[in-house]
Structure 1
Amino acid sequence: MTRRAALVAGLASLGSSALLKVVPIEVPNLLAGPKAPPLKDWPTLDALAQTFIDTRLTPGLSLSVMRKGVMLYSKGFGVATIDTDEAITPQTTLRIASITKQFTAAAILLLQEQRLLSVNDPLSRFLPDFPRAGEVTLSQLMSHTSGMGDYVNRQDMAILTEAQNRDYTADDVLKLIRAGKPLYRFGPGLGWAYSNSGFTLLSIVVEHLSGLSFADFCEQHLFKPAGLNHTVIDRDCATANTAARGYTPSGRGFDPHVPASPSFLSGAGAMRSTSEDLCQWHAALLGGKVLKADSLTAMLTPALLRNGQPAWEREGGTEPLNYGFGLGVGTVDNHRYCTHGGRINGFTGHLRSFIDEQVTVSILYNCDGGGAARFGAAQKALRVEASRLGLEDAVKV
């Protein structure tokens, strides 16, 4: 993935009518940015990450920590592919699942900046035949407050297996979403319910308005401006099935998983990326290189239900979390942060940024954990330690 650019040196020589010795002179590259400082040595983080491999919680993981656009720590542990024993690195592309959703929200906000839509527009403006589309706004789709069900988690095994081996049109996916029983769990704006359906509908809106595929729109208007060189949406199922292999734990060790087709998941979870690229994404997003200030504020502001209450708040635990547009937002130990996780067959990921300190933690695993409680507990421990070290480093500066 991320490659360190080679320094360019030139040779200058002195000459005259007399024969002079040619003296090489180093010419600085004035276009190059400041040299990146050496990465941090964080043994406690190394140990926690290596524990995942030693206890066979995942074949591999990549972990990167960035502050203000400067990489502090970036390492891979374990293997990317079991069969070949290929090492995983922070430049290994892995599926990021629902971390995709913040990119989808950013795409909608970009279209609003271009005056092509408003987040308060009803879905019926773009999909007039969709049931109850006149009652649902784009902002409700972006904040999981539309009341809509979830076509991904609702499907039977036969459809999910098919989704690993075929490509879908927007009409194909719309039919799957509309077939939900019930299509709506509750009335729009009356509650919070996680919905992949809503974000896939948003990506269809992006395609309708832009005239581009969702993959092309993201590449041109999000990935390139943010400086993401290894973040993609695969163009077809065949490419997706060969790009990255994820695993599920079993009694035999790990069983390989074929990912769902990108065209099946679309704006809900079709992307793959690297831990370094995801850090760069948040540096660009929070640094104003992707969205205007008003759009970013909207993205990070907890959405409200029709009764004026925050869209979602996790009860109990130590991290009350509300939801903005494609991102969870909250405060822990007086540090404001935005976050999103992702999990899909064979892959798990987590991306979190502390907004004021501009510290970002990105962790990607080529394993879905199989629902094991100890996988979740180990994830949290790794995330907490990476966050602690990143924040401590920010205080020192």
Structure 2
Amino acid sequence: MKKILTLFIVTAISFSFSQAQTFEVKVDSLLSQIFKDKNGPGGVFMVAKNGKPVYQKAFGNANIELDVKMAPQNVFQLGSMTKQFTAIAILMLVEQGKMDLQKPISTYIPDYPMGDKITVHHLLTHTSGIKDFTKMKSLNQIAQQNLSPKQMVDFFKNEPVDFNPGEKFEYNNSGYVILGYLIELVSGDTYENYINKNIFQKIAMKHSRYASDTAIIKNRAYGYQQKTTGYVNKTAISFSIPFSSGALMSTVDDMLLWQNALNKDVLLKPETIKKAFTKYKLNNGEPFNYGYGWHLKDIDGIATREHGGSIFGFKTMGVYIPDQDIYVLGLSNCDCNSPTQVVKDIAGLALKTLNKK
């Protein structure tokens, strides 16, 4: 009987090891099709199952000029993956009774146009109708200026709305800039300090921070863009422009800490964090696939929480599958190597290959 039991255990372990090897080979194959230029920019990719990495590899270069190879610990600009941190920060203030999701933003910014009709909920769900500043032709005039959050909000607040609040879903960076401003107004702290103290420090995200091109950041991955003539350093931008819609930096390991903290309700009560992962409806009752800071989609009918990011020189993508506790993340330091589709492909592969719970 003992021999049979031992044989069963050995067989199970061998199968699991073989399964992991097969998964690794398949993921390597998918990523090698994207990162063909070993002397060019690259990326870092991670797959985690039940809160622990089962795949983590780096490709290409973190710095082309110095020929520094990419490593798993490199720090990337997250772009719009910043929005999930902003959304959770808002929910923290809601939980503390300092903010109300259904209150009009005129409660906090009295002179905001149509502020009596636009709620905090509208901002979080991209249903406010406010003009997205990234679509404004005048953006180039301020792109390299260091603006205060109020100045940034003033830049777009008088633009005509694209639609009435709650009428439709349309992805909107302006809404998340306003949310960052609200965090400052309500908390009495800067957005940068608030996120650092209440999220990064609390869950030991030691390599995450508000972006800077001037600070010395250990293991920084430098951003590149690809032109017809070859690679160039990324276009400079003041991080006060994307602000709370896209100005944070992190690593794959820190992002796993973040995902695990969300799963374990470290930062918020279960009933509060549930609001971030709820699908809401428009004024006409039509549902849309966005909660607070995450797209709520599916892979073959299995629910996912997804979000990507794009900012000069960097593209990012994360997919989390709650049912199987699978997290797939891709961070790239070039706009030429978008991880969006390959991360989705890897997530689909993980669903089929990795052991179920």
Tell me the TM-score normalised to structure 2 length.
0.87
Which runs of structure 2 are paired with 1:18-33 in the superposition (5 Å)? none
How many equivalent residue pairs?
A: 337
Contact kept? 1:246, 1:259, Cα under 8 Å: no
State the Cα distance separating 1:158 from its structure 2 match: 3.2
Counterparts in 2 of 1:216 and 1:391: CA distance versus 1, 3 Å:
farther
State the Cα distance separating 1:68 from its structure 2 match: 2.1
The equivalent of 2:342 in structure 1 is 381
State the Cα distance separating 1:179 from its structure 2 match: 4.5
2:106 is equivalent to residue 145 of structure 1? no
Partners of 1:229 and 1:259 lie apart in 2 by: 25
- Residue by residue over 1:174-211, the C-alpha shift from the partner in whole angstroms, topping out at 9 and shown as x without a partner, is 2212243x3x1000011111111100000000011111
Q: Among residues 141, 154, 157, which one is paired with 1:175 in the alignment?
A: 154
Contact kept? 1:48, 1:382, Cα under 8 Å: no
State the Cα distance separating 1:238 from its structure 2 match: 3.1
The equivalent of 2:267 in structure 1 is 290
Partners of 2:133 and 2:125 lie apart in 1 by: 17
Letter paired with 1:323: Y
Contact kept? 1:65, 1:390, Cα under 8 Å: no
- Residue by residue over 1:74-114, the C-alpha shift from the partner in whole angstroms, topping out at 9 and shown as x without a partner, is 11101011101111122111111011111111011000110
Contact kept? 2:133, 2:156, Cα under 8 Å: yes
2:213 is equivalent to residue 252 of structure 1? no
The equivalent of 1:48 in structure 2 is 30
Stretch of structure 1 that moved more, 67-76 or 114-123? 67-76
The equivalent of 1:307 in structure 2 is 284
Counterparts in 2 of 1:224 and 1:391: CA distance versus 1, 3 Å:
farther
Which structure has the larger Rg over C-alpha atoms?
A: 1
The DSSP-based 3-state class of the residue aligned with 2:86 is helix
The DSSP-based 3-state class of the residue aligned with 1:45 is helix
Partners of 1:240 and 1:325 lie apart in 2 by: 32
Contact kept? 1:80, 1:245, Cα under 8 Å: yes
Q: Among residues 43, 66, 91, which one is paired with 1:61 in the alignment?
A: 43
Counterparts in 2 of 1:214 and 1:143: CA distance versus 1, 3 Å:
same
2:327 is equivalent to residue 360 of structure 1? yes
Counterparts in 2 of 1:302 and 1:249: CA distance versus 1, 3 Å:
same
- Residue by residue over 1:300-338, the C-alpha shift from the partner in whole angstroms, topping out at 9 and shown as x without a partner, is 00121111211x3xxxxxxxxx00111111222232110
The equivalent of 2:164 in structure 1 is 187
State the Cα distance separating 1:128 from its structure 2 match: 0.6
- Residue by residue over 1:233-260, the C-alpha shift from the partner in whole angstroms, topping out at 9 and shown as x without a partner, is 03x6633999552111122221111442
Contact kept? 1:101, 1:199, Cα under 8 Å: yes
Counterparts in 2 of 1:331 and 1:58: CA distance versus 1, 3 Å:
farther
Contact kept? 2:39, 2:64, Cα under 8 Å: no
The equivalent of 1:106 in structure 2 is 88
State the Cα distance separating 1:157 from its structure 2 match: 6.0
State the Cα distance separating 1:153 from its structure 2 match: 3.1
- Residue by residue over 1:155-182, the C-alpha shift from the partner in whole angstroms, topping out at 9 and shown as x without a partner, is 44632xx524x321122202212243x3
Counterparts in 2 of 1:203 and 1:240: CA distance versus 1, 3 Å:
farther
Contact kept? 2:126, 2:170, Cα under 8 Å: yes
Partners of 1:341 and 1:290 lie apart in 2 by: 22
Partners of 1:241 and 1:71 lie apart in 2 by: 24
Q: Among residues 224, 232, 238, which one is paired with 2:214 in the alignment?
A: 238
The DSSP-based 3-state class of the residue aligned with 2:215 is helix
Structure 2 unaligned runs (5+)? 1-16
The DSSP-based 3-state class of the residue aligned with 1:341 is strand
Partners of 1:276 and 1:88 lie apart in 2 by: 15
Structure 1 unaligned runs (5+)? 1-36, 313-321, 370-374
Partners of 2:221 and 2:147 lie apart in 1 by: 20
Partners of 1:293 and 1:88 lie apart in 2 by: 37
The alignment's C-alpha RMSD in Å is: 2.4
The DSSP-based 3-state class of the residue aligned with 2:61 is strand
The equivalent of 1:163 in structure 2 is 143
% identical aligned pairs: 28
The equivalent of 1:211 in structure 2 is 188
The equivalent of 1:11 in structure 2 is none
Contact kept? 1:144, 1:195, Cα under 8 Å: yes
Partners of 1:155 and 1:185 lie apart in 2 by: 16
Counterparts in 2 of 1:75 and 1:244: CA distance versus 1, 3 Å:
closer
State the Cα distance separating 1:152 from its structure 2 match: 2.4
Partners of 1:118 and 1:382 lie apart in 2 by: 35
The DSSP-based 3-state class of the residue aligned with 1:135 is coil
2:168 is equivalent to residue 201 of structure 1? no
State the Cα distance separating 1:48 from its structure 2 match: 2.1
Contact kept? 1:361, 1:387, Cα under 8 Å: no
State the Cα distance separating 1:391 from its structure 2 match: 5.6
State the Cα distance separating 1:365 from its structure 2 match: 0.6
Counterparts in 2 of 1:219 and 1:327: CA distance versus 1, 3 Å:
same
The equivalent of 2:316 in structure 1 is 349
Partners of 1:83 and 1:263 lie apart in 2 by: 27
Letter paired with 1:328: H
